[in-house]
């Protein structure tokens, strides 16, 4: 499931997983003091440090994903017609996970055709309403 996400969604997912891991480690570390007393303090310290690093890492990933999403190419998905963002030359739709590509060798629709379709929808009033 993690690997067939849109890249921005995957970054967010990893950020969330790291936050949960960090919080889990901090909770476990604190629990270590309660259950093992003095011996648990070393375990708690390690847990807190790793937990903190993990949470800072996840913050970095969130920040990075935010930066990336502002520079990401925004386009309408040809499959589900929702506005999605893609990173790099090939990415998946954030909603239906259709693989989108800018590489003409891999595409079954040329960029010109895609652009024409997008411009057509943007400029003209479509007869059917959503």
Among 43, 62, 95, 107, binds Zn ion (CB under 5 A): 95
Contact (Cβ atoms closer than 8 angstroms) between residue 79 and residue 73: no
| Binding of residue 14 to Zn ion (CB under 5 A) | no
| Binding of residue 100 to Zn ion (CB under 5 A) | no
| Binding of residue 76 to Zn ion (CB under 5 A) | no
Residues with Cβ within 8 Å of residue 12, at least 6 apart in sequence: 62, 65
Task: Indicate the residue among 30 and 98 with the shorter CB distance to Zn ion.
Answer: 98
Task: Indicate the residue among 17 and 114 with the shorter CB distance to Zn ion.
Answer: 114
Q: Is 91 left (phi over 0), alpha (psi -120 to 50) or beta?
A: beta
Q: How far apart are CA 18 and CA 40, in angstroms?
A: 23
* Span from 22-30, 31-39, 69-77, 117-125 in contact with Zn ion (CB under 5 A): 69-77
Q: Which residues bind Zn ion (CB under 5 A)?
A: 77, 79-80, 93, 95-96, 98
């Amino acid at each position: 499931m993690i690997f067939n996400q849109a890249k921005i969604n995957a970054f967010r997912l990893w950020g969330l997983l790291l936050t949960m891991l960090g919080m889990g480690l901090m909770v476990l570390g604190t629990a270590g003091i309660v259950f093992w007393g003095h011996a648990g303090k070393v375990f708690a310290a390690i847990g807190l440090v790793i937990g903190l690093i993990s949470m800072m890492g996840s913050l970095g990933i969130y920040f990075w994903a935010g930066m990336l999403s502002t520079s990401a190419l925004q386009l309408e998905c040809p499959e589900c017609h929702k506005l999605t963002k893609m990173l790099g030359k090939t990415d998946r739709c954030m909603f239906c996970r259709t693989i989108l590509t800018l590489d003409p060798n891999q595409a079954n629709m040329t960029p010109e055709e895609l652009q024409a379709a997008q411009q057509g929808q943007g400029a003209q009033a479509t007869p059917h309403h959503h």
